[in-house]
């Protein structure tokens, strides 16, 4: 059972509730020789950041909590995306206010 990966049963494209954070699994790399798994996951809180995804290296002994992840729904994903969009819009508006723009110019889009 050297390559027993049953502690992580999600696949690419799955929406997960990762201990209260909503995320989308981008890729799962499973070793054919060991129980090691590399999980590429995009947490909604990282949208707009320079680091758009996380890579977790896990084993059955060191799961880093991924064994507790639960499936999430599209509705939960959309709710978190909407909240993130609102946050980013507030940040953008704050920058525009700082430079006296207050909003996008219809002529330049800036």
- For the ranges 7-11, 34-38, 85-89, 106-110, the lowest mean pLDDT is seen at 106-110
* Per-residue pLDDT tens digits for 58-96: 998 988 999 999 999 999 999 999 999 999 999 999 999
Question: Model's pTM, two decimal places?
Answer: 0.80
Distances from the Cα of 95 to the Cα of 5, 89, 99, 102, angstroms: 46, 10, 7, 9
* Per-residue pLDDT tens digits for 49-59: 999 999 999 99
> What's the rounded Cα separation, in Å, for the pair 55 and 30?
13
User: How confident is the prediction for the chain on average, in pLDDT?
Assistant: 89
The pLDDT score that the predictor gives to residue 6 is 72
Contacts by 64-67 with C-beta closer than 8 Å and gap 24+? 65/18, 65/19, 66/7, 66/8, 66/18, 66/39, 67/7, 67/8
Whats the size of the chain, residue-wise? 110
Per-residue pLDDT at 1 exceeds 50: no
């Amino acid at each position: 059972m050297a390559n027993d990966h049953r502690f992580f049963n999600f696949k690419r494209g799955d929406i997960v509730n990762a201990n209260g954070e909503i995320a989308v699994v981008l890729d799962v790399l499973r070793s054919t020789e060991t129980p090691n798994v590399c999980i590429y996951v995009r947490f909604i809180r990282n949208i707009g950041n320079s680091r758009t995804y996380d890579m977790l290296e896990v084993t059955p002994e060191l799961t880093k909590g991924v064994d507790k992840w639960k499936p999430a729904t599209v509705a939960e994903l959309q709710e978190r995306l909407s909240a993130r969009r609102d946050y980013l819009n507030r940040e953008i508006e704050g920058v525009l206010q700082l430079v006296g723009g207050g909003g996008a110019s219809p002529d330049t889009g800036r």
